[in-house]
Structure 1
Amino acid sequence: MELTSESQEEVDNAEEIKNLKKVEAALFISGRFLSLQELVALTEINPLLLRELIEKLTDKYDDSCAIEVLQKEDRWKMDVKQEYRNMVNKLATGTAEFTKAEQETLAIIAYKQPVKQSVIIKIRGNKAYDHVKNFIEMGLVRGKKIGHTKELSLSDEFYDYFTVGKGERERQETGRDTGEETVGAVERREVVESAEEKQEIEGRKDPVEAVAETIEQEDKSMLENNNP
């Protein structure tokens, strides 16, 4: 039985909707930028059709949606629009993705980079070995071998993963303040500023030690508040 032109159109539309959902699901669940090759492997859709579907998906998430499809060179991901990211970052703080200890270790690496792993271990203790190993395995941190230790710095995946704004990234990479600061950056700055204030009071030469003591005091304070 031959399909009429109207029936064939219905079949084609159903197939397109199915493929569009595949692409949408892949971009939504990845949490990072996916290349065309990765999307082809995941969805089994040919590259030319895949590009058309991504364009349609981008149009679907228009100004009336809080979600958008972001493109960086030949890679794509879905994310919350810029105007809602501060709210989402606040909601995400303290999730099970990273423990509080891991968040603090990563914050210090982000602020001090490039920094030797031995310095991080001195600040955070031996538990930080596992933290650093986890960050490197996730691709968030680069570890360059230097003598008996490693030099740690943030990778491109870190900025993609946390959707760090352009201004904050430039500030971290160049030390230049562009006026744009993420919620995470504010939290890191507040911890370090508190440590630097402590350094001024006590006349320390290295603010890293003050950072460590500030974090430890915050942990003790939290424990005391939770156990009156």
Structure 2
Amino acid sequence: MDTTTEPGQLGILEALLFVSEAPLSLERIEELFEGCSKAEAGRLLTELQDKYRQPEHGVMISEVAGGYRLTTKPETAPWIQRLRGSKPARLSRPALETLALIAYKQPITKAEIETIRGVMVDGVLKTLVERDLVRILGRKPEVGRPILYGTSRSFLEYFGFKDLSELPTLKEIEALAPHTAEKEVSDEPVAQTEKAE
């Protein structure tokens, strides 16, 4: 039995994942464990993941946004919701539609989003930027230099994606909702404004 008070490497990695605000990449784990190779960092991570796969654990290690973080298992959601006492903040349908457009068409301008959606998106776009799901990528090199929008690292974390390649394809989305009618987009000027929740 080990009688030292210093935690082992697994314990240290567990603590780092617990306190880190952002996902930890293998490179960052390697930096934090001086003298540890990337392969060794990967082995430690795999060992800890295997430990958390056991049913008695309520947490797991998830790979999101190019790194790893300690997250709760989905089956614990009802108890976590009781603890928090309220439902998590949800995005409105217009916000989700706008976010989906940005995710699939990025980089994209506000005018391009409004042309596709057929409504003004000022409020929705502001909400998505404030929630850090969307970020400004730069400016389009054309007259007026409109702002280009794209998804953020927080977007990947929020939806549990490692990277944008994990977004479902349009065929996969259509298979999930085969009875959804496509919305017609008219050539009329945009006149309606939507507010995000």
TM-score by length of 2: 0.56
Q: What secondary structure sits across from 2:172 in the alignment?
A: coil
2:186 alignment counterpart: 205
Are 2:29 and 1:54 aligned? Answer: no
- Structure 1 residues 40, 176: closer, same or farther in 2, change over 3 A? same
Are 2:72 and 1:70 aligned? Answer: no
Report matched runs for 1:4-15 at 5 Å.
9-11=2-4, 14-15=5-6
Report matched runs for 1:45-194 at 5 Å.
45-48=34-37, 50-64=41-55, 65-71=57-63, 75-81=67-73, 83-84=74-75, 93-94=88-89, 106-113=95-102, 114=105, 115-118=108-111, 123-125=120-122, 131=127, 134=130, 138=132, 140-141=134-135, 143-146=137-140, 147=142, 148-155=145-152, 158-164=155-161, 169-171=167-169, 175-177=170-172
Deviations 1:31-79 (CA, angstroms, capped at 9, x unpaired): 65321232344x4454246444323321221231232223479832222
- Structure 1 residues 73, 111: closer, same or farther in 2, change over 3 A? closer
Larger RCO (CA under 8 A, 6+ residues apart): 2
Q: What secondary structure sits across from 1:177 in the alignment?
A: helix
For 2:14 and 2:174, how far apart are their aligned partners in 1? 33
Deviations 1:10-46 (CA, angstroms, capped at 9, x unpaired): 32xx4344x43432233234465321232344x4454
Q: 2:65·2:161 contact (CA, 8 Å) conserved in 1?
A: no
- Structure 1 residues 28, 209: closer, same or farther in 2, change over 3 A? farther
- Structure 1 residues 209, 152: closer, same or farther in 2, change over 3 A? same
Deviation of residue 129 (structure 1)?
Answer: 6.8
Q: Name the structure with the higher helix share.
A: 1
Q: 1:170·1:177 contact (CA, 8 Å) conserved in 2?
A: yes
- Structure 1 residues 118, 21: closer, same or farther in 2, change over 3 A? farther
For 1:86 and 1:116, how far apart are their aligned partners in 2? 36
Structure number, greater radius of gyration: 1
- Structure 1 residues 84, 119: closer, same or farther in 2, change over 3 A? farther
TM-score by length of 1: 0.50
Structure 2 residue identity aligned to 1:170: P
Gapped regions of structure 1 (runs ≥ 5): 1-5, 187-192, 220-228
- Structure 1 residues 117, 15: closer, same or farther in 2, change over 3 A? same
- Root-mean-square deviation (CA, aligned residues, Å) is 4.9
Count, aligned residues: 175
Q: What secondary structure sits across from 1:10 in the alignment?
A: coil
Q: What secondary structure sits across from 2:167 in the alignment?
A: helix
Q: What secondary structure sits across from 2:71 in the alignment?
A: strand
Gapped regions of structure 2 (runs ≥ 5): none
Q: 1:31·1:78 contact (CA, 8 Å) conserved in 2?
A: no
